[in-house]
Structure 1
Amino acid sequence: MGFTKLVEEFRGGVLENVHYGAVCVVDEQGRVLYRAGDPEHLTFLRSAAKPFQAIPAMKRRIDQVYGLTGPETAMFAASHRGEAYHIEALESMFRKMGLSEDDLHCCASYPLNEDAKAERIRNREPKRRLFHNCSGKHAGLMGLSKHMGWDVKTYYEPEHPVQQEIVEALARLSEVPKESIASGIDGCGLPIFALPLRNIALSYLKLACPDRIEDADTREAAAEIAKRMNDHPDMIADRQFVCSALLKDDNLAAKGGAKGVYGIGLRKERIGIALKVSDGSELVWPCIIASILELLGYGNRETIDRLYALVPNEIRNDGGTPVGERRAVFQWEG
């Protein structure tokens, strides 16, 4: 599958675990600058697709149509963790857009964050569709469908106009023909797409550097959603997660997805990065991304340190005692 060792984990000096995967770095023409593993590995974007799935709604300036705030608009691209401020924003969005939570296609769940989940359970609250981490993305698609006069109740179907517009936007940014984009069904029930890592990296470069997008409406929409993500990073995940930690850096456009996929665009350097952890681990994202930035000579040490603080390379047991370490072991190939 073209994977290489990315991270090794040691306990008591003994190698306990190895995380394999692939990393690809491209320039603004989509040429591979650096790689570890196969840059053509076909990868489902999962939630890393959310900024691109928000583009059709931003083209119509749904935020202005319904009077949404900046933090509320950022929820279109969020994998929120169900904190109280996320749910308050979502409830406000649904009121402003005149939508029903019952029409959300994502299933009822509890928040992803354990503390937020425990609080809802202590309060004897039932699972809600709004608690699902993808509900903000769904809300944007529902709001667009309502505005355009499309069927709000079937927005998740692949043939629905909103889904067709998403594929078209992704094709523009990835430079993969629409008919060649592989698809499946995501965990939240929406269509999701698979691209080579190289094309995911190129898509994130264009999200960070929208002047590389030829279509003017798509260019403006991509710039708008990327700005909301940087302006309101804690809406995209929460205060203790890698997406929000990266988006605090205005030079980066970044979003991760389930099963270990991550995309990053660097504005000043005009490069795109995509990675895939083969076992799907998200715990090793900070180690890998910090190491990528270090290998690239990235100038903002604060961002790198923030990643290491989020998930230290020192491994501690449940009592807080140091018991091992994790190390990024990949080097650029070819």
Structure 2
Amino acid sequence: METAVRLAEQYRGGHIENIHFGHVCGVDEHGNIVYSAGDPEWMAYLRSAAKPFQAIPAFVHGTPEAFGLTDKECTIMTASHRAEPYHVEALESMMAKLGLGEEQLICSPSHPLSPAARDEMLLASKPKRRLYHNCSGKHMGILAYSKQKGYPLEGYGESQHPAQVDVLDTIADMADYPKESIRVGIDGCGFPVHALPLNHIARMFLKLACPDLIADEGASRAAGHIGRLMNEHAEMVSAPWFICSILLKDPNIAAKGGAKGIYGFALRDERIAFALKVLDGSEDAWPTIIASILEQIGYRNQETIDRLYALAPKAFRNDGGVIVGENKAVFRLNRNE
């Protein structure tokens, strides 16, 4: 096991204030580790980065068509949404089409993650809702799949539930990793959460971006469909001001992050993918790290890199607009020939 490396640093007044350690792995279409910083086989929980893959069984079996779901409704099955009004509208529409009650979701009632939506709710003294939980689209998708397949709706978040067994099989196949070696915990929303080495997480994202690498025809079609939807409706995956939606605006990229610093993304034309883990769990360092990865490999779309630096500027300002510090990526990718 290799030692973690410094991935990003933040300076204030010329003095270092924050250091983000972690690991990065890049793989090619053959599953070979071609780029690394730190330990490319670090075991990491997927958290919400799993959501596009958790949706695959439903797409394989035609769940969206069975219930007449729109493209935006399908996309929110992959999302860590911010409960913006358009997210809630899609979720309420799905709930009506599925004939479900909000109380059937096991995710906890929450405030919206969108600051504007949260403030509006608080000012109006509106209660928390399960639909506001950023994982509610994933939960709705699993409930829809269970209903279509005739699986019980009760206990849909338990690891032994047949829908969750199907998800675990899908993750193992997408990752090219033995199912019995996948570590299973419980996610914040109540779902099973799976831990795999970073190089196998990167393989999953490469298959999402390049579904021709998937042997099973149904899974290949489903992954291709999911990947297209995430690009075409990027605002449904998180929000226009969050990194996932910003990266997905680039049609060459498949991407999704999860809690506690895990991120995966793939480049379709280049047929390479990366998985990274920030060990302190910070999401703030993601844009700086991913922009540096893209620069180091010579990525051609400067607009995407610029959007990342707009999200986390190299020179950052205080509340008064004064430049007070600097964000730096400080790692170098090792190129493995």
By how many angstroms is 1:197 displaced?
Answer: 0.5
Amino acid at match of 1:187: G
Q: 2: CA distance between counterparts of 1:184 and 1:159?
A: 13
Q: Does 1:54 align with 2:55?
A: yes
By how many angstroms is 1:292 displaced?
Answer: 0.3
By how many angstroms is 1:151 displaced?
Answer: 0.7
Amino acid at match of 2:320: G
Describe the superposition over 1:166-218 as per-residue Cα deviations: whole angstroms up to 9, x where unpaired: 01111111011111111100000000100101100111011100111111111
Structure 2 partner of 1:127: 128
Helix, strand or coil at the partner of 1:154? coil
Helix, strand or coil at the partner of 1:288? helix
Describe the superposition over 1:11-32 as per-residue Cα deviations: whole angstroms up to 9, x where unpaired: 1111111111111100011111
Query: Aligned residues: percent identity?
Result: 54
Q: Does 1:232 align with 2:233?
A: yes
Kindly indicate whether the alpha-carbon contact (under 8 Å) linking 1:2 and 1:41 is maintained by their aligned counterparts in 2: no
By how many angstroms is 1:2 displaced?
Answer: 2.8
Correspondence 1:1-334 to 2 at 5 A: 2-333=3-334
Q: 2: CA distance between counterparts of 1:320 and 1:106?
A: 39
Helix, strand or coil at the partner of 2:204? helix
By how many angstroms is 1:317 displaced?
Answer: 1.4
Kindly indicate whether the alpha-carbon contact (under 8 Å) linking 2:312 and 2:327 is maintained by their aligned counterparts in 1: no
TM-score, normalisation: structure 1:
0.98
Helix, strand or coil at the partner of 2:154? helix
Helix, strand or coil at the partner of 1:222? helix
Amino acid at match of 1:38: D
Q: 2: CA distance between counterparts of 1:253 and 1:8?
A: 26
Kindly indicate whether the alpha-carbon contact (under 8 Å) linking 1:246 and 1:303 is maintained by their aligned counterparts in 2: yes
User: 55-64 vs 82-91, which deviates more?
Assistant: 55-64
Q: 1: CA distance between counterparts of 2:37 and 2:321?
A: 33
Describe the superposition over 1:240-279 as per-residue Cα deviations: whole angstroms up to 9, x where unpaired: 0000000011111000000010000111000110000011
By how many angstroms is 1:318 displaced?
Answer: 2.0
Q: 2: CA distance between counterparts of 1:141 and 1:227?
A: 20
User: 311-320 vs 223-232, which deviates more?
Assistant: 311-320
Describe the superposition over 1:56-106 as per-residue Cα deviations: whole angstroms up to 9, x where unpaired: 111112111111111110001000011011001100010111111100010
TM-score, normalisation: structure 2:
0.98
By how many angstroms is 1:153 displaced?
Answer: 1.9
User: 239-248 vs 214-223, which deviates more?
Assistant: 214-223
Q: 2: CA distance between counterparts of 1:66 and 1:301?
A: 40
Kindly indicate whether the alpha-carbon contact (under 8 Å) linking 2:60 and 2:219 is maintained by their aligned counterparts in 1: yes
Amino acid at match of 2:161: H
Structure 1 stretches of 4+ with a deviation exceeding 2 A read none
RMSD: 0.9
Helix, strand or coil at the partner of 2:276? strand
Residue correspondences, number:
334
Structure 2 runs not aligned, ≥5 long? none
Amino acid at match of 2:178: P
By how many angstroms is 1:230 displaced?
Answer: 0.7
Helix, strand or coil at the partner of 1:127? coil
Q: 2: CA distance between counterparts of 1:45 and 1:70?
A: 25
Amino acid at match of 2:274: I
Q: 1: CA distance between counterparts of 2:42 and 2:304?
A: 28
Kindly indicate whether the alpha-carbon contact (under 8 Å) linking 1:182 and 1:195 is maintained by their aligned counterparts in 2: yes
Structure 1 runs not aligned, ≥5 long? none
Amino acid at match of 1:194: A
Describe the superposition over 1:294-323 as per-residue Cα deviations: whole angstroms up to 9, x where unpaired: 001001111111111122121211222110
By how many angstroms is 1:135 displaced?
Answer: 0.1
Q: 1: CA distance between counterparts of 2:89 and 2:237?
A: 14
Amino acid at match of 1:245: I
Q: 2: CA distance between counterparts of 1:126 and 1:132?
A: 13
Q: 2: CA distance between counterparts of 1:250 and 1:319?
A: 36
Describe the superposition over 1:118-148 as per-residue Cα deviations: whole angstroms up to 9, x where unpaired: 1111111100000000000000000011111
Q: 2: CA distance between counterparts of 1:179 and 1:222?
A: 23
